[in-house]
Structure 1
Amino acid sequence: MTANHDLSTRRTQAVPRGVGSATAVYAARAENAELWDEEGRRYVDFAGGIAVLNVGHRHPRVLAAVRAQLELYTHTAFQVMPYEPYIRLAERLNALAPFTSEAKTILFTTGAEATENAVKIARAATGRPGIIAFAGGFHGRTLLASAMTGKVSPYKKGLGPFPGEIYHLPFPSETTGVTLADTLKSLDFLFAADIEPERIAAIIIEPIQGEGGFHVPPPALFEALAALRERYGILLIADEVQTGFARTGRMFGIEHCGIEPDLVTVAKSLAGGFPLSGVIGRAEVMDAVEPGGLGGTYGGSPVACAAALAVLDIIEDEQLSARADVIGARIRSRIAGWTGRNAMVPTAGLRGQGAMIAFDILDADGGPDGAEAKRVCARALEYGLVLLGCGQHGQAIRILVPLTASDALIDEGMTALEQALVPASVTLPIEAVEDVAA
């Protein structure tokens, strides 16, 4: 019996099926953009722990910062005895905030905690209950976060009822065929049929949808959201859990959009693999909650704060925002060269910003093919590449390679992806795939 098979058996007996895994191989060690499983097989990592590892696995500066903090203390609870790393990280994030007014930051542990607390803060600041989110958006799996998430299966199926006063609009994107006019018309219907705009506390939006399919909205959407804020006092929450920390070529994805948010939720790549999240917001909005209304036992762990401070240094010193653009251009060029290849499954919809790239797998009729996308990911794993899907129908292939990966490693991963796009009924050696690509 192999180590991976044995662990799968133990997992089935010990862990509920509600938590899924994209692969059936088990990690033994990792370095930068490479993983090795329990049987010693090496993989190129194009998943990055779902956008957590923008600075790669086990970056030496992150490990050094964590080791130094471990020698001091690991936990006091910030609400009991606060500590300097939390304050220093808040100061750093406040200075990076994608808005011009004074900022404040509170730290938590998970992305869902960040989005839920952003809603609490927005409701306290406005005195209003309503929250508008978008179809296809993902904001977490806790109850309120699931209510905001714009996808039923698997995130809501059989798990309701959900908290009220959460409303969804269609998300405009060329790849979905939803226009900005469609979105604004739905907004008019919402205000006419369900809730008046004066009762909306905030609109929460991912600058680029993540799990929903890496959809990039038109800039005019953000102009419309700014107009709503001006007219009705509705706050704007930018959910940067996946887009943040250089992934899109900017520190925050909202910086591409031409408007300033009121609140920003962060997590994932903030701490280089350590659990940490936060809400960065305009000071006058953040201070609306009474003392004791926000917090959490492990929120802003000193170990995670130390890691995050190192991550911010790495992003700046290694110029990872600029590196994201270089990586993205390299990946786009390679994918664009595959369009129309007869030996490959049909693909379309190449999209994204910076190194946040996706494309769709299509069926013979040109529709989304989630089943084939799963097979592509499975074949990629066989060729030594960890890859993830996403999208409304599971049809999208998303690439989230660490921004610290070398060009050679990225090219190796793209070659494996290219081979994985050849259906099982067509067998080509890697050399033949490379010849076709040329």
Structure 2
Amino acid sequence: MSRALILVGGTVMGSGLLYVQAAQRLGLRPITLSDDPSRYDTFGAKDVTTVRVDTDDLDALIGECSRLRETYQIAGITAALDSVYATVGKLCRHFDLPGPNPEAIEQCCDKYTQRQLLAASGVPIPEYRLATNAAEVEASAEEIGLPVIIKPAAGSGSVGVRLCRTAREVAEHTNNILGGQHRGGHAPRILVEEFAHGGPAYGVDTMGDEVVGISTGHCCPPPHFVYRDATYPAALNNEEHERSIIDISLSSLRALGLGWGPVGIEVQWTERGPVIIEVNPRLHGSPTPQMVHLAYGVDLITEHIKLAIGEELDLRKRRSQTAAARYLVADRDGTLDWIAGESEAAAIPGVAEVKFYVQPKALIIRKGDYRDCLGHVIAASSSLPRAEAILQCAVDLIRWSITSQEHS
């Protein structure tokens, strides 16, 4: 009976195929459970079993896993998306497999509860309020002081997150959230937050209770928060700053009960030092895992799977390089006529990966979140200036054309 790894749900920024490939390298049969397998990059992959099942239905998932156990030895169950990760924890408990604490995951995925737990433990966070209607949002924004961040209390990938500088922008974005997320007669919960800024933004990657590394990145201009580039590791010349970021990250894990598995933490440096913007109970999406591997020789996805099947972690750094990535962000709405330059860019020495997320004739409608990205390019070298120079040469070779809808 062959050993199998169950992957529940979709993936973050195309990391699903990386999970499949890592599982296969470990001698495991990947089996994906999804409500619509064709939506994800694992669909059609070689030697992968795909099963359609409602991933919101725990009983259905238990039934499907029980059926699969008649054919396979289930070595582990995991996921890349935080939206199903609590369910994964419940499945692991049911089948007596290693897995995350589902209660901790659920608390973390509720951004308001996350804020409460962090604040109760003294972890620095932006000032915040919870609102359920337009009047409460308006009052909260006035109390905190403009500009403010308005976002849903649930979700990921910067979906629905916007910087609002005026009362009019607050009202408009609040109406967008209320109109777009009103489901089943229940109004969405909205977070109103202080705009924490003043210094670099950092991404912290942890596994278990250990900080693996720290990256830095820049977003496209506000009001949205779409990343345009990232560097791994962050160029932290101040040891005190690095220690502060590590300390605040580990404090967050303890406050949220996240001592098992991968966590991606967003930290913003401000006038009062580092503050936690968000804690995600999962790996950061692609290309972060690839960048960690290039920079340190640590394969976070493989280590996550090893943890899920009960094997020991190995987070030892085997190399010291700098990896730099650029996201290819759509500059307008319309139809993608063509996108080119992939093979030419990939042929440049030092370029590690060129990946397009979309195909020609795709309809591009910018949302102000991760879905605005058309692809990414990663380069690696022994120094940051060299990696950035290689990256720029590669990006300069990539071209695309989007025909605006009004002209189509």
Global fold match (TM > 0.5): no
Greater relative contact order (CA < 8 Å, ≥ 6 in sequence):
1
Structure with the largest fraction of strand: 2
Structure-1-length-normalised TM-score: 0.30
